[in-house]
């Protein structure tokens, strides 16, 4: 794993100098890990290239992704995880087709979900990634229960070093048919069981999960997800050994009829899991952490932060900037309980009810983070866990 003494550097390619004015960079490298911001089909001035053409835009995104990872010292073969956000659900498959031109076996874990809007109104797709530049082998895991994934340029799980990334697991049978239609909780149970299966195949267990992000076609299904996870696993955990969970509603998922997709990060390093949850986070009542790591590890998954107090009340209704400031402060509060600070945050994904809010949020981020410039991917979404949240800000950190 990455040590606390590993070199840290923001990476920005010359074609993306617009990052110089933002609290973000093309990518952020710490040790062997490279966290890459969502790549868009834009030119040096930040204007969209090939408007209306998803295939051309996807190719531009992958070319940018290649340029960024190479500037960071790696290659596309080092990519272990991809998340893609699509403004037209009908045009996800052309993005996979383009990916086959750039990814050649040993495929990364991949989570593909819909979005209501990206930083440029004509952008059709955003592709963010994590690369691991270490010397060890990259291993992929796609069980027979999800064998239809083998037709995609993606793996259900991808491991390098101690980190195992599990792609957006959807509730489908081995041939890709959606199961338990209309039943949020049953679909969530299926996804959680596949996460456990992949963890065990890689030599771990549910006790190695440090971070879960669930995407939901209907925001009302988030409670079913929490219930399924709680009944199977969460209720049996000590409060200082629990998991960071983020739940986001999106316009749709890759499979029509799928109500949820689970993206998970598993840390297979030895030692017990450590979860920290400040009193200011109301989800302590369902045993979800604010930040989770493993003993002896430096990787931290943080739950998406929102503007609510310790009792779940919205702190600043309707105030975009204030909700961003509150979320940033809560991320750091959780991280400080593990001995970290805002400088340890390496990646942010901000989910916005109004996709135009990303500029306001990044302006607040500039004041909050100063010269620290993590990778950052803004995404428009349909809903968050509570009515009244205008955005949710998720982060990963390395101590």
Output the domain CATH number for residue 64. Answer: 3.30.1330.40
Cβ–Cβ under 8 Å, residues 187 and 255? no
Nearest to 395 by CA among 291, 295, 309: 291
Number of domains in the chain: 1
pLDDT of residue 105: 83
Classify 241 as helix, strand or coil: helix
Say if 270 falls within a structural domain: yes
Residue 197 confidence (pLDDT)? 98
Is there a domain that residue 383 lies in? yes
Task: Examine residue 127 and state whether it is found in any structural domain, yes or no.
Answer: yes
Q: Which domain holds residue 235?
A: 10-398
For residue 1, being part of any structural domain is answered with no
Q: In which region does residue 233 sit, left (phi positive, over 0), alpha (psi from -120 to 50) or beta (all else)?
A: alpha
Residue 67 lies in a domain: yes
The reply to whether 5 falls in a domain is no
What is the per-residue pLDDT across 198-208, written as a single tens digit (0 to 9) for each? 999 999 999 99
- The C-alpha R_g of the chain, in whole angstroms, comes to 19
Which residues, including other chains, have CB under 8 Å from residue 319's CB and lie 6 or more apart? 390
> For the purposes of burial, counting CB atoms within 10 Å of the CB of 195, is it exposed (0-12), middle (13-18) or buried (19 or more)?
buried
From the CB of residue 215, how many other CB atoms can be counted at a distance below 10 Å?
29
- CA-CA distance, 189 to 168, in Å (whole number)? 14
Rounded to whole angstroms, how far apart are CA atoms 305 and 329?
9
Q: Within 10 Å of residue 63's Cβ, how many Cβ atoms? A: 16
- Rounded to whole angstroms, the Cα distance separating 304 from 38 reads 17
Give every residue of the chain whose pLDDT is below 50, as ranges: 1-5
* Residue closest to 124 by CA, chosen among 89, 96, 82, 152: 89
Q: Are 360 and 23 in contact (CB under 8 A)?
A: no
Contact 177, 147 (CB under 8 A): no
Q: Is residue 3 part of a domain?
A: no
Evaluate whether residue 224 is within a structural domain: yes
- Beta-bridge partners for 276: 291
């Amino acid at each position: 794993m990455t040590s606390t003494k590993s070199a840290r550097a923001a990476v920005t390619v010359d074609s993306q100098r617009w990052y110089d004015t933002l609290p973000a960079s093309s990518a952020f490298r710490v040790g062997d890990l490279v966290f890459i911001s969502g790549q868009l089909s834009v030119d040096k001035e930040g204007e969209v290239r090939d408007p209306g053409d998803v295939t051309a835009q996807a190719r531009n995104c992958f070319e940018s992704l290649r340029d960024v990872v190479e500037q960071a010292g790696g290659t596309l073969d080092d990519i272990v995880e991809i998340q893609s956000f699509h403004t037209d659900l009908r045009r996800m498959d052309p993005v996979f087709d383009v990916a086959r031109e750039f990814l050649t076996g040993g495929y990364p874990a991949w989570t593909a979900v819909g979005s209501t809007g990206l930083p440029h109104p004509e952008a059709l797709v955003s592709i963010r990634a994590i690369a691991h530049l270490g010397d060890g082998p990259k291993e992929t895991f796609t069980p027979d229960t999800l064998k239809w994934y083998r037709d995609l340029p993606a793996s259900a799980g991808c491991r390098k070093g101690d980190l195992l990334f599990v792609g957006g697991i959807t509730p489908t049978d081995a041939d890709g048919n959606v199961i338990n239609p209309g039943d949020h909780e049953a679909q969530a149970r299926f996804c959680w069981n596949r996460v456990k299966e992949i963890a065990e195949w890689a030599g771990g267990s549910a006790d190695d999960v440090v971070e879960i992000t669930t995407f939901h076609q209907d925001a009302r299904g988030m409670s079913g997800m929490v219930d399924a996870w709680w009944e199977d696993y969460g209720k049996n955990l000590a409060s200082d050994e629990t998991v960071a969970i983020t739940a986001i509603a999106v316009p749709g998922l890759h499979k029509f009829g799928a109500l949820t997709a689970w993206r998970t990060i598993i840390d297979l390093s030895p030692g017990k899991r450590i979860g920290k949850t400040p009193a200011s986070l109301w989800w302590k009542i369902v045993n979800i952490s604010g930040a989770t790591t493993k003993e002896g590890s430096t990787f931290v998954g943080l739950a998406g932060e929102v503007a609510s107090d310790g009792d779940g009340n919205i702190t600043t209704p309707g105030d975009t900037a204030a909700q961003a400031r509150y979320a940033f402060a809560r991320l750091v509060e959780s991280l400080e309980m593990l001995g970290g600070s805002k400088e340890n945050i390496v990646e942010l994904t901000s989910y916005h009810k109004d996709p135009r809010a990303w500029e306001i949020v990044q302006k607040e981020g500039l004041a909050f983070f100063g010269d620290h410039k993590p990778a950052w991917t803004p995404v428009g979404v349909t809903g968050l866990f509570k009515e009244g949240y205008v955005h949710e800000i998720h982060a990963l950190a390395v101590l």
